[in-house]
């Protein structure tokens, strides 16, 4: 299975939201990172056929998705960034409705709906109206509708927004479980959502793809440049000198993790630590958010 983007681009008026992009995706999980306005949702809406590209094409197993149309939509699951739920619908009723739209066979649909509600932990509210659910519950229902038809291509736009830490981990594990023989793309601001499960990290910056690597390759690039030190000067002073990736309290002391420039040497009183993907993110997008 292969999804190929060829010179894909999108402008809104004269705003270039996505600059000509070339990319090949095979089965696995892709984590799409980038600051607000980078073009993540635009990218995902193009693949979901909700937007017409301004140029270029998208091929699924060698065929243009605009030619495949219905046949592509049948294998696609999309979870939008904004809620797409109908508040007056019941939870189970909503999944039946979506399944019918996707042309699923009744028996398959009934089974899949119950099974997914179990997986996203909504079985106990399956007969309630959607408007009575909490934000996090609605988020999980949106994931369920995206996975309903066993899609080959799964597009998730900020799937963990508004989830508590435990549900966030559950959602991450559920997505990882679904990844076999599927292409899954997850856009997120929460680096830890994808750090562990993504086979590849895609980074978008102002509509351009600036990185396409494994998390390991990306963190490797920062080896020897991340240090932890006790914070004994005002934070602003440290920030003037280094990229400060995090500050933490431990046993009454405050520590800062800093990233030094490529040519810079180890800060005195700094202890080298392993870089993580959040450090990488900060390195790429440090000045922007
Ligand atoms: N319908 C639209 N009309 C005009 N400009 C748009 C439209 N949708 C998006 N944009 C612009 O295109 C750029 C990319 O937007 P997009 O929503 O793809 O970013 P994003 O990476 O998903 O951001 P976020 O992290 O905030 O969700 C932004 O500058 C945005 O203002
Ligand atoms: Mg977005």
| Token couple for 281 | 């993110």
Centre of ligand 2 to C-alpha 40, Å, is: 5
Q: Give the model confidence (pLDDT) of 59-69 as tens digits.
A: 999 999 999 99
pLDDT at residue 88, as a whole number: 95
Together in a domain, 175 and 55: yes
Together in a domain, 147 and 268: no
Count structural domains, the chain. 2
Residue of 10, 16, 40 with the most ligand 1 atoms within 8 Å of its CB, for mutation:
40
Q: CA-to-CA distance for 138 and 157, rounded, in angstroms? A: 14
Together in a domain, 267 and 208: no
pLDDT at residue 266, as a whole number: 86
Residue 46: which CATH number? 3.40.50.300
Centre of ligand 2 to C-alpha 161, Å, is: 11
Together in a domain, 147 and 264: no
Query: In ligand 1, which atom is closest to the CA atom of 207?
Result: 14
pLDDT at residue 82, as a whole number: 84
Together in a domain, 113 and 155: yes
The verdict on residue 244 lying in a domain is: yes
Query: In ligand 1, which atom is closest to the CA atom of 189?
Result: 25
Whose alpha carbon is nearest atom 18 of ligand 1? 39
Cα four-point dihedral sign 19, 214, 194, 79: positive
Residues with CB under 5 A from ligand 2 (ion): 40-41, 81
Whose alpha carbon is nearest atom 27 of ligand 1? 36
Together in a domain, 135 and 268: no
Together in a domain, 239 and 180: no
The verdict on residue 278 lying in a domain is: no
The verdict on residue 287 lying in a domain is: no
| Token couple for 209 | 């793809």
Together in a domain, 53 and 190: yes
Q: Given 219, 238, 254, which residue is the final one in a domain?
A: 219
The verdict on residue 29 lying in a domain is: yes
pLDDT at residue 84, as a whole number: 81
Map tokens 């996203």 to a residue: 120
Residue segments in the chain with a per-residue pLDDT below the cut of 70: 287-289
Together in a domain, 154 and 57: yes
Q: CA-to-CA distance for 125 and 117, rounded, in angstroms? A: 9
Whose alpha carbon is nearest atom 31 of ligand 1? 37
Together in a domain, 24 and 93: yes
Ligand 1 neighbour 77 (Cβ under 6 A):
no
Q: CA-to-CA distance for 199 and 197, rounded, in angstroms? A: 7
**175 lies in which domain range?**
2-219
Centre of ligand 1 to C-alpha 157, Å, is: 13
Q: Give the model confidence (pLDDT) of 173-215 as tens digits.
A: 989 998 989 999 999 988 989 998 999 999 999 999 999 999 9
Residue of 38, 51, 158, 204 with the most ligand 1 atoms within 8 Å of its CB, for mutation:
38
Contact 87, 51 (CB under 8 A): no
The verdict on residue 282 lying in a domain is: no
Query: CB 244: neighbour CB atoms within 10 A?
Result: 18
Ligand 1 neighbour 15 (Cβ under 6 A):
yes
Q: Give the model confidence (pLDDT) of 251-273 as tens digits.
A: 889 999 999 988 888 888 899 99
The verdict on residue 285 lying in a domain is: no
Query: In ligand 1, which atom is closest to the CA atom of 18?
Result: 14
Centre of ligand 1 to C-alpha 133, Å, is: 28
Q: Given 219, 238, 257, which residue is the final one in a domain?
A: 219
Together in a domain, 145 and 27: yes
Ligand 1 neighbour 38 (Cβ under 6 A):
yes
The verdict on residue 260 lying in a domain is: yes
Whose alpha carbon is nearest atom 7 of ligand 1? 12
Ligand (nearest to CA of 14): 1
- What is the pTM for the complete model shown? 0.92
The verdict on residue 257 lying in a domain is: yes
Centre of ligand 2 to C-alpha 155, Å, is: 12
Q: CA-to-CA distance for 285 and 278, rounded, in angstroms? A: 10
Together in a domain, 169 and 234: no
């Amino acid at each position: 299975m292969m999804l190929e983007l060829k010179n894909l681009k999108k402008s809104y008026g004269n705003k270039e939201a996505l600059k000509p992009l070339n990319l090949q995706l095979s089965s696995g999980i892709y984590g799409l990172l980038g600051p607000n306005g980078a073009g993540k949702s635009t990218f995902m809406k193009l693949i979901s056929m909700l937007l017409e590209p301004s140029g270029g094409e998208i091929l699924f197993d060698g065929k243009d998705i605009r030619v495949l149309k219905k046949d592509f939509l049948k294998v696609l699951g999309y979870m939008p960034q904004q809620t797409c739920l109908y508040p007056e619908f019941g939870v189970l009723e909503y999944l039946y409705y979506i399944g019918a739209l996707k042309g699923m066979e009744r028996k398959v649909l009934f089974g899949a709906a119950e099974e997914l509600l179990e997986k996203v932990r909504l079985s106990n509210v399956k007969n309630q109206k959607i408007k009575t659910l909490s934000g996090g519950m609605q988020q999980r229902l949106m994931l369920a509708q995206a996975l309903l038809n066993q899609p080959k291509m799964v597009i998730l736009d900020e799937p963990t927004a508004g989830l508590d830490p435990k549900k966030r981990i559950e959602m991450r594990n559920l997505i990882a479980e679904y990844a076999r023989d599927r292409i899954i793309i997850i856009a997120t601001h929460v680096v830890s959502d994808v750090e562990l499960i993504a086979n590849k990290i895609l980074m978008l910056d102002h509509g351009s793809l600036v990185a396409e690597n494994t998390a390991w390759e990306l963190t490797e690039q920062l080896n020897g440049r991340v240090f932890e030190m006790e914070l004994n000067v005002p934070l602003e002073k440290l920030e003037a000198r280094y990229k400060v990736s995090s500050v933490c309290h431990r046993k009454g002391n405050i520590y800062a993790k800093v990233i030094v420039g490529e040519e810079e040497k180890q800060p005195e009183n700094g202890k080298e630590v392993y870089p993580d993907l959040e450090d990488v993110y900060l390195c790429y997008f440090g000045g922007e958010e």
